[in-house]
Amino acid sequence: MTNTITPEFRFRRLRRTSVLRDLVRQPTISTDDLILPLFIEEGITEPLAISSMPGVVRYPEDQLAGAVQRAWSKGIKAVLLFGVSRHKDSIGSDTWADDGLMARCIRSAKKAQPEMVVISDNCFCEYTDHGHCGVLCEGSHEGVDVDNDATLANLQKQAVVAARAGVDMIAPSTMIDGMVAAIREGLDEAGYSHIPIMSYSTKFASAFYGPFRDAVDSTFKGTRSTYQMDPANSREALAESMQDELEGADILMVKPGIAYLDIIAAVRANSQRPLAVYQVSGEYAMIKAGAAAGVIDEEAIVMEIMTAFKRAGCDLVITYFAEAIADWLKP
């Protein structure tokens, strides 16, 4: 008789068929989890391809409606709007004009698909001639810095204009201290207490953002390290999100994604609020480059990363792959 070692429990029993694996899969991905970023540029008549982000374009204003309707038809229920302004100044004032690009895009998206959750990215980098996320101040020993409190006042005006235009959710991405409290106060005082805030609550000064600057035609030069987070600081990262929760954020966010799964897990362990992750432009571009080179399977890699985000604790994923994922999920 041959001596054998018999495991007391065989994990492989529940991996034997695809149906069994589906039954016991822990995090799952659906179109309900996805938020699609859209770029809209003033003054163009045809979609403009973004060379560093294959498959992503800047839409003319008159084609935004079609992009929103197409996303809805695929089962995507939320879009995040980024304007590419041709009316830039030192403070981003076009964003608090009722006839400015941000407000026009919100109205167009809501008219095209009233049920779609339309989210405005609330920042100034696409609307300032210097490309920073707010009002510049003097005196930084590193050359350029953003005036925290002056920027808060402008964020309040911007958020109220977005709400007046019909936005469903405000998403402040400036990483300015006190931004959630200021926006909440501004919205409430203007009669928009029902509008939720999805805060970019832990946003790192990351090298993964490079292609995004092409996407929004940014004039930015230098560093945002004085207001965005040091990628090394995990304790501070958690504190940033917890502070935004205290200030009234309805949804928290970690940005970027794949290099910060530990931060996602830490925020999830310390908060019961819905949690989003932004799979940013550099992450997208690397996957596209690898797939184009034939060294990875794009669909398999993307879905594995989506699962990693959900496993780490995310409820929502902002991703340029949203439409592709919706197609892959079709039975």
Q: What is the pLDDT of residue 132?
A: 78
Do residues 80 and 121 make contact, with C-beta atoms less than 8 angstroms apart?
Answer: yes
Question: Does 29-328 carry CATH code 3.30.1650.10?
Answer: no
SS3 labels along 276-331: EEEECHHHHHHHHHHHHCCCCCHHHHHHHHHHHHHHHCCCEEEECCHHHHHHHCCC
Q: What is the pLDDT of residue 204?
A: 96
Q: At residue 186, what is the residue type?
A: G
Q: How far apart are the first and last CA of the chain?
A: 49
> How far apart, in whole angstroms, are the C-alpha atoms of residue 264 and residue 261?
5
| Joined tokens for residue 273 | 């609020």
Helices assigned H by DSSP within 248-280: 261-270
Q: Of residues 74, 255, 288, 310, which has the active-site annotation?
A: 255
- 255 noted as active-site residue: yes
| Joined tokens for residue 82 | 């980024």
Q: What is the pLDDT of residue 62?
A: 96
Q: What is the pLDDT of residues 300-315, one digit of tens each?
A: 999 999 999 999 999 9
C-alpha separations of 320 from 36, 74, 152, 222 in Å = 6, 14, 29, 26
- Before 196, cis peptide (omega within 30)? no
Q: Of residues 203, 221, 310, 330, which has the active-site annotation?
A: 203
| Joined tokens for residue 137 | 């101040």
Q: What is the pLDDT of residues 278-287, one digit of tens each?
A: 999 999 999 9
Spans of the chain below 70 pLDDT: 1-3, 138-143, 212-223
Q: What is the pLDDT of residue 221?
A: 63
Domain segments of the chain as ranges: 29-328
The CA radius of gyration of the chain, in Å to the nearest whole number, is: 21
